[in-house]
Chains A and B, each alone.
Chain A
Amino acid sequence: MSLASFFAQLLNGLAGASALFLVAAGLTLIFGVTRVVNFAHGSLYMVGVYVAYTLAETLGRGPWGFWGAVLLSALVVAILGAAIETLLLKRIYAAPELLQLAATFGIVLIIRDAVLALWGAEDLLGPRAPGLSGAVEIFGRAIATYDLFLLAVGPVILVALWWLLERTRFGMLTRAATENRVLAAALGVDERRLFTAVFALGAFLAGLAGALQLPREPANLGMDLSIIVEAFVVTVVGGLGSIPGAFVAALVIGLTKALCIALGTVDVGGIAIAFPRLTLVAEFVVMAIVLVARPFGLMGRPPAAPPTTPIAEFRALVVPPGRRAAIGALIALGLAALLPLSGDEYRLVLATDILVLALFAASLQLVMGTGGMASFGHAAYFGLGAYAAALAVKHGAPMEAALALSPVAAAAGALVIGWFCVRLSGVYLAMLTLAFAQIVWSVAFQWDEVTGGSNGIVGVWPSAWLSGKIAYYAFTLALVAAALAAIAWIAAAPLGYALRACRDSPLRAEAIGIDVRRTQWTAFALAGAFAGLAGGLYAFSKGSISPETLAIPRSVDALVMVLLGGLNALAGPLLGAAAFTWLSDTLARATEYWHAVLGAMILLIVVAFPMGIGGALQRWLPRGAR
């Protein structure tokens, strides 16, 4: 690579970084103040692109048309953001941490379907920016003028935000709330208005980023998810709440990717390494390295207040199951065992799915609810279990042995990942699990010879004695019931108590002689094993697996199930998995816009039962029945 082309790639990387920074800046701003992990930020960005497209078409192709469209669409998105905050998020700020994540996930589903209904399925290529549609020669390489413009926009926005936050009263209040929102509220800062304003500002930046993307990318329905994960990564690498951090992180990631592409296929000691293929995971590798080295990101600071301030009510809910709960569980098991009598084969298929996902969700609840460690990459263990089982069968192992291997393989993976993760806390920990999960995913996705690449592995069927639907359902029911009982037992065992102690006060736990990291590490491995078992059962129930068993949507599904069911309710995962799976299945059949309806149902549940379905049940039932 010549120096000139290296310089050109540097500019390319910087332009991409600038666009990414705009999205991440809004996200980090919102998180810093409201602590909302805003999963819908990518959707706001997508709305920005679509609105800008329509406005640019309406206002004409002149400079006023285009730049007017950019600004107006950012405003439209800001209003949309304010509406979402006022109508929805405001109602659930008091709920357990991360419940907002489930709510914003519901919004993602609704916005995607709304955009499909309003703008149609076809990609919409917007106009080029008037006045900036050409290219200039720099060292003999043509560079798009618009890229140079974007390159300048990033720093301008950075400075503008710095001014706003450091030099205005609004900024001072925002910083105060970022640092300690309880104290700020106590000093008379109107939290509610401030939150709305910050959310609108974050949404404005997302809309602006989207609108500015119009000349570079056709408006399409995949934009929301493809940007949100990357924006999260930038936010976390930079340090949550740190806008300069987000800027530096965007630069690092943008340049890493450009460099991977520029290097091409390189021979290293006789082995050809195709660097462009690494772009699939480049940002996650960067994130893993940064977080392992700096647990609070490049420029983040440890939060002044403890990361979790669980409300007493939610904490008190964690009570070991009593006798009546045990009887209830037995009755439920008995009823489940009678299901084959209904004669509807499909009901068994659906119930098998629900059981498998309930176990998966329960394993997540063990680390997240009892352990207080949110995991955004829980699919890694599910997928490892599924792949271990599938590969064992493909290499001639009997199905029973292969299934026994899944929890072992997943636990091994969880031990490695957990060793790094327990050194972190809060969202940083969650994002590090995501980074590892994505790295595992990309290995499965690219290692054709072993994992079948993007196609996955087919022909993973159970042994003859389990090939019937009833037999496999009964088998799954027995294993899942035993596993759920084991998880409930762990939560009530000394390990469970130690885990909760580490969650609620690591300092005090340490003081009474609990090895915090070791306890959390154990929980990780155990949860991994249970998730792996779920993955193995899943593989044999489907007959095939592919990298999607390891992918982000599966982790998100598990999160949503746990939150819907109730983070700290024992029956939560089962209820959450049942509600989510049954709803998707029924709605997909009933209506074309089933994503939107599913999203609306999630919002309803979240607002009506902030403690989840299980939490609400516990509250209604008499105390002894808990």
Chain B
Amino acid sequence: MTLIRRLAAHTLLAAVAATAFSVAAQPIRLGELNSYKVFPAFLEPYKKGMDLALAEVNAAGGVLGRPLEIVSRDDNGNPGDAVRVAEELLSREKVVMLMGTFASNVGLAVADLAKQRKVLFLAAEPLTDKIVWENGNKYTFRLRASTYMQTAMLVPEAAKLGKKRWAIVYPNYEYGQSATAAFKKQMIGQQAGGIEFVEQAVPLGKIDPGPVVQAMLDAQPDAIFSSLFGADLARFVREGELRGLFKGRPVFNLLGGEPEYLDPLKDEAPVGWWVTGYPWYAIDTPPHKRFRDAYQAKFNDYPRLGSVVGYSAVKAAAAAIRKAGSTDTAKLVAAMNGLSFDTPFGKVSFRPIDHQSTMGAYVGRTAVKDGKGVMVEWRYADGGDFLPSDDTVKRLRPAE
């Protein structure tokens, strides 16, 4: 044991000496992990967004007079590997904080690791409500508008229609289940009179569109709420159009306006659906224009929603380190509470009450223009306006 202690002491001494001499040149490292091989359609643009933000931060002199560096790892899309690479980032790469993740289960696992290891974790993409509420903890902050928030952005429009019978179709896992639950609960709350729901749960990535569309037709709904995305959405749209499912029925689709999922549909994109998404071509606010121009200049490609998420996550991390004036976790966590920072969508802040950011989403209707799916009649829905009351949040989130 003494040998180990002595060794440890030596290492520590050496480390202290090394940092004392070269602190100015040492970059500040952010540990990033994501499921790059499992969800490449979203995460390739995400990575480009990160690269752009990193270049901007460093061009402006870095943070605390030191350059910023991102050490990126593939978590293989499963929580076990994610925890392992997170450990590697912490112990070997000496990163000052963790960020990233995509799927809910991976995000929740890393959030719990952050709590255990007492390190800051910025969950950039996971949409699960639990990461800030039921399973929320002191060290975890979430950037994107959650499933609950994005559903809440669509509900007012849906409730206005006064439709009695809703068909709901969703991918059968956390995201789809909580979107469905949130939709049902909020609709019952906002729409007077009786309302009924018929549901179709489809295995993620394996929708059987013929039978699903047929069953929805047979249910004779007045309107449709879907949380499908990716290949499932494309198949659902094609089959539904073919069989006339959408004729005379308003359709709401969570995430349906995100370029990642709308663009592959090309001229077959649905028309008149209410969606949340990102009309990158039409947002002309100064911060977004600046972002879009820089992105297109750097990558010769247009930004997707993933690009905005990656970009904003790095900007948030840089802002937190600047505000904390240090890379010490306690100070970083304190700085993150109420931190206000710039994103392409404008100023966003992290709510102290549940560590959810107020980043919003664009809500609008789909259309086809020049053979491409676009969003029209859109507006920006500020995330801060679509969260439950503080009392509800306090009840959901465990006390610290």
Residues on A lying within 8 angstroms of B by beta carbon are: 1-2, 5, 8-9, 12-13, 15-16, 116, 121-125, 128, 134-135, 141-144, 147, 216-218, 220-222, 226, 257-258, 261-262, 264-265, 274, 276-277, 279-280, 340-341, 343-346, 349-350, 353, 445-446, 448, 453-456, 458-459, 461, 469, 538, 542-549, 553, 584-585, 588-589, 592, 594-595
Q: Chain B contacts of A344 at CB under 8 A?
A: 91-92
Contact A459 B201 (CB under 8 A): no
A131 to chain B: closest CB distance in Å? Answer: 15
**Are A544 and B235 CB-contacts (below 8 A) given A141-B217, A261-B208?**
no
Q: For residue B109, which residue of chain A has the nearest CB?
A: A544
Contact A279 B264 (CB under 8 A): no
A-B contact pairs, 21 of them (CB 8 A): A5-B214, A5-B217, A116-B40, A143-B243, A222-B205, A264-B200, A274-B201, A277-B172, A277-B201, A279-B172, A279-B202, A340-B4, A343-B8, A346-B91, A349-B88, A353-B84, A445-B173, A454-B104, A542-B109, A543-B113, A592-B36
CB pair A226–B205 under 8 Å, yes or no, is yes
- Residue in B44, B203, B209, B260 whose CB lies within 8 Å of A280: B203
Is B44 within 8 A of A121, CB to CB? Answer: yes
From B111, B113, B211, contact of A9 by CB (8 A)? B211
Closest to A458 in B: B112
Chain B contacts for A545, CB-based, 8 A: 79-80
Pick the interface stretch among B70-78, B282-290, B291-299, B335-343.
B70-78
B233-251 contacts to A, CB under 8 A, are 234-235, 238-239, 242-244
Q: Which residues of B are found within 8 Å of A128, using beta-carbon distances? A: 238
Given A123-B230, A134-B242, A343-B8, A349 and B84 contact (CB-CB distance below 8 Å): yes
Q: Which of B80, B203, B209 contacts A279 (CB 8 A)?
A: B203
| A15 CB contacts on chain B under 8 angstroms | 210
Q: Which residues of A contact B105 (CB under 8 A)?
A: 454-456, 546-548
Contact in complex: B113, A141 (CB < 8 Å): no
How many Å from the CB of A46 to the closest CB on chain B?
A: 12
Asked if B243 and A142 make an inter-chain contact with CB atoms under 8 angstroms apart, the answer reads: yes
A-contact bits for B325-349, CB 8 A (1 contact / 0 none): 0000000000000000000000000
| Complex contacts, A121 vs chain B, CB 8 Å | 40-41, 43-44
**Interface: B394 (CB within 8 A):** no
Q: A458 near B235 (CB under 8 angstroms)?
A: no
Query: Taking the nearest CB of chain B, how far is it from the CB of A393, in angstroms?
Result: 13
* Residues in B whose Cβ lies below 8 Å from that of A142: 242-244
Interface string of B5-40 (1 = CB under 8 A from A): 001100100000000000000000000000011001
Contact A343 B37 (CB under 8 A): no
The answer to whether A455 and B108 touch across the interface, beta carbons within 8 angstroms, is yes
Q: Point out the residue from B43, B128, B200, B263 that lies within 8 Å of A261, measured CB to CB.
A: B200
- Interfacial residues of chain B within 190-206, with CB under 8 A of chain A in the complex: 198-203, 205-206
Name the B residues within 8 Å of A135 (CB-CB): 242-244
Pairwise interchain contact B218-A262, C-beta atoms closer than 8 A = yes
Q: Are B217 and A13 in contact (CB under 8 A)?
A: no
In the complex, the chain A residue whose C-beta lies closest to that of B261 is A123
Residue of B nearest to A548 (CB): B78
Query: Would you call B239 and A144 a contact (CB within 8 A)?
Result: yes
Please, which residue of chain B has its CB at the minimum distance from the CB of A141?
B214
Given contacts A142-B243, A257-B211, A340-B4, contact A122 B263 (CB under 8 A): yes
Nearest residue, chain B, Cβ from A265:
B199
Q: Does B188 contact A (CB under 8 A)?
A: no
| Most-contacted residue by chain A among B88, B116, B215 (CB, 10 A) | B215
The chain B residue with its CB closest to the CB of A145 is: B242
Q: Is B174 an interface residue (CB 8 A)?
A: yes
B202 & A276 in contact (Cβ 8 Å cutoff) = yes
Q: Are B79 and A453 in contact (CB under 8 A)?
A: no
Question: A548 near B243 (CB under 8 angstroms)?
Answer: no
B212 on interface, CB distance cutoff 8 Å: yes
Which of A5, A220, A445, A461 is the most central at the interface, judged by chain B CB atoms within 10 Å of its CB? Answer: A220
Smallest Cβ-Cβ distance to B91: which chain A residue:
A345
**Complex interface: chain A residues within 8 A of B235 (CB):** 216-218
The chain B residue sitting closest to A128, CB to CB, is B238
With CB as the reference atom, state the residue of chain A lying closest to B243: A142
Chain A residue at minimum C-beta to C-beta distance from B235: A217
CB <8 Å contact, B109 and A546: yes
B174 nearest in chain A by CB position? A454
B266 near A125 (CB under 8 angstroms)? yes
- Note all chain A residues with C-beta closer than 8 A to B218: 1-2, 5, 262
The answer to whether A125 and B210 touch across the interface, beta carbons within 8 angstroms, is: no
Interface centre among A15, A141, A455, A461 (most CB of B within 10 A): A455
Docked complex Cα distance between A13 and B215 (Å): 12
| B268 interface residue (CB < 8 Å to A) | yes
Whether B231 lies near A456 (C-beta < 8 A) is no
Shortest distance from the beta carbon of B211 to any chain A beta carbon, whole Å: 4
Bound state CA distance, A592 and B37, in angstroms? 9
Query: Given the complex, which residues of B lie within 8 Å of A546, measured CB to CB?
Result: 78-79, 105, 109
**Which residue of the partner chain B has the closest CB to A258?**
B211
B residues less than 8 Å from A116 (CB atoms): 40
Which of A1, A280, A584 has the most chain B CB atoms closer than 10 A to its own CB?
A280
Contact of A589 among B73, B91, B112, B239 (CB under 8 A): B73
Q: How far is the CB of A351 from chain B (nearest CB, A)?
A: 11
B186 interface residue (CB < 8 Å to A): no
B 249-292 binary contact with A (CB < 8 Å = 1; else 0)? 00000000000100111101000000000000000000000000
Q: Quick check: is B58 within 8 A (CB to CB) of the other chain?
A: no
Interface check B87, CB cutoff 8 A: yes
Contact of B4 among A122, A341, A349, A456 (CB under 8 A): A341
Residues of chain B in range 49-95 having any CB-CB distance to chain A below 8 Å: 73-74, 76, 78-80, 83-85, 87-88, 91-92
Cβ–Cβ < 8 Å partners of B164 in chain A: none
B130 located at the interface, meaning its Cβ lies under 8 Å from any Cβ of chain A in the complex: yes
Q: A143-B243, A469-B91 are known contacts; what are 17 more A-B pairs with Cβ within 8 Å? A: A9-B214, A16-B208, A124-B264, A144-B210, A144-B243, A147-B210, A216-B235, A218-B231, A261-B211, A274-B201, A279-B201, A279-B203, A343-B11, A344-B92, A456-B108, A544-B83, A592-B36
Question: Min CB distance, B141 to chain A, in Å?
Answer: 17
Check A125–B264 contact: CB distance below 8 A. yes
CB distance from B117 to the nearest CB of A (A): 9
Q: Are A261 and B215 in contact (CB under 8 A)?
A: yes
A122 touches B205 (CB 8 A): no
Closest-CB distance, A346 to chain B (whole angstroms)? 5
Minimum CB–CB distance for B75 against chain A, Å: 9
A24 to B239, CA, bound (A): 24
Q: Give the residue name and chain of the B residue nearest to A357 (CB).
A: B80
| A589–B43 alpha-carbon span in the complex (Å) | 17
Distance A1 CA – B211 CA, assembled complex (angstroms): 13
From A147, A353, A542, A595, residue with most partner B Cβ within 10 Å:
A542
User: How long is the Cα–Cα vector from A455 to B238 in the complex, in angstroms?
Assistant: 31
Contact of B234 among A123, A543, A553 (CB under 8 A): A123
Chain B nearest CB: distance from A274 CB in Å? Answer: 7
Q: Which of B7, B202, B215 contacts A264 (CB 8 A)?
A: B215
Q: Are B215 and A9 in contact (CB under 8 A)?
A: yes
Measured between alpha carbons, how far is A274 from B234 in the docked complex, in Å? 24
Q: How far is the CB of A484 from chain B (nearest CB, A)?
A: 21
| Closest chain B residue, CB of each to CB of A112 | B37
- With a cutoff of 8 Å between Cβ atoms, the chain A residues found around residue B214 in the complex are 5, 8-9, 12, 141, 261-262
Given contacts A5-B218, A538-B80, contact A12 B202 (CB under 8 A): no
Known: A261-B200, A542-B79. A16 touches B264 (CB 8 A): no
Q: Is the CB of A455 within 8 A of B128?
A: yes
Q: In whole Å, how far is A609's beta carbon from the nearest beta carbon of chain B?
A: 25
Q: Is B353 an interface residue (CB 8 A)?
A: no
- Closest 9 interchain pairs by CB? A121-B40, A12-B210, A345-B91, A454-B173, A261-B211, A458-B112, A544-B109, A546-B105, A258-B211
Among candidates B8, B83, B199, residue contacting A542 with C-beta atoms closer than 8 Å: B83
Distance, CA A542 to CA B81, complexed state (A): 9
B161 within 8 A of A: no
- Map CB proximity to A onto B347-369 as digits: 1 under 8 Å, 0 otherwise: 00000000000000000000000
